[in-house]
Structure 1
Amino acid sequence: MNEDAFWQLIEDCRAAEPDPDAELLAATLTEWLAQSPLSLVIGFAEQLSWALYRLDRKEYGHDLSGDAFLYTRAAVVAAGRTEFDSVLHDPPAFTPYATDLIWAEHLLYTPDRAYERITGEEWDRDTRYSYESRSNTEGWAD
């Protein structure tokens, strides 16, 4: 799955539900991925990790704990490509997510749940980029 396909899938799943919250979006994405080839699930996991990694920078940190910062970055991704690009290029656009604690924790588990539905097994996965907070050392350098 390339980056354009990743964002299109997020947009398609957002459009499937009127004003979806993060949990509903994650469930819709999981359902779609669970009906797809395993390679798409793996590709989705890679693209999700890459998007979250790109937002893992000190100018977004806002003194949030590691988990809160991760879930807030996930909310930016769940908001779609336009919002993601806006936040990526204008760090102050992240502030409402941080101050209002807008979270999308469920999005993080989407590929794992789809994998388990397809294979019947838990996924012990690694992606090229870690999405854990402060794993982007370049984004936190002084």
Structure 2
Amino acid sequence: MNKDAFWQLIEDCRPTEPDPEAELLAPALTERLTQCPLSLVTGFAEQLSWALCQLDRKEYGSDLSDDAFLYTRAAVVAAGRDVFKSVLQDPAVFKQYATKLIWAESLLYTPDRAYKRITGEEWDRNTRYSYESCSNTEGWAD
């Protein structure tokens, strides 16, 4: 799955009503991914980890706990490509999510749930990029 397909899938599954914490988006994505080949599930996981890693920067999360920072980054990704790009251009946009405590933790588990529904097994996954807070060494360099 390439970046365009990743963002299009998020857009296609986004509900029409406000859903800042991805409570409706995550199950819709899981459902859609379970109808795809397993390679698209793993591709989604790779793109998700890449996007979260891009947001793992000191200027966004230096005053948040690791979990709060991760879940807030997930909310930015759940908001879509335009919001994601605007955050990369202006850290103040991220602060709007952080100060309102908008978290989309459920998005993180979407590929794992789809994988389990397809295979019947838990997924011990590793992606190219770690999305854990403070793991992007370039983003936290002085």
Is TM more than 0.5 here?
Answer: yes
Aligned length: 140
Counterpart amino acid of 2:66?
A: G
Distance 2:10 2:54 in 1: 17
Counterpart amino acid of 1:19?
A: E
Distance 1:135 1:2 in 2: 23
Point out the structure with the larger helix share. 1
Distance 2:124 2:18 in 1: 29
Distance 2:128 2:41 in 1: 14
Aligned twin of 2:45: 45
Superposed counterparts of 1:14-93, under 5 Å: 14=14, 17-21=15-19, 22-93=22-93
Residue deviations 1:63-119 (CA, integer Å, cap 9, x gap): 110000000000000000000000011111111111011000000000000000000
Is the CA contact (8 Å cut-off) linking 1:62 and 1:98 kept in structure 2?
A: no
How far 1:18 sits from its partner (Å)?
A: 1.9
Q: Are residues 20 and 29 of structure 1, via their aligned partners in 2, closer, same or farther at CA, if it must alter by over 3 Å?
A: farther
Counterpart amino acid of 2:124?
A: D
Query: What SS does the aligned partner of 2:72 have?
Result: helix
Distance 2:23 2:114 in 1: 15
Q: Are residues 32 and 20 of structure 1, via their aligned partners in 2, closer, same or farther at CA, if it must alter by over 3 Å?
A: farther
Counterpart amino acid of 1:134?
A: C
Structure 1 ranges of 4+ moved more than 2 A = none
Counterpart amino acid of 1:85?
A: K
Moved more, 105-114 or 84-93: 84-93
Identity of aligned residues (%): 81
Aligned twin of 2:96: 96
Structure 1 gap ranges (5+): none
Distance 1:95 1:102 in 2: 10
Is the CA contact (8 Å cut-off) linking 1:49 and 1:127 kept in structure 2?
A: yes
Distance 1:88 1:28 in 2: 26
Query: How well do the aligned residues superpose, as a CA RMSD in angstroms?
Result: 0.8
Distance 2:120 2:9 in 1: 23
How far 1:19 sits from its partner (Å)?
A: 1.7
Aligned twin of 2:137: 137
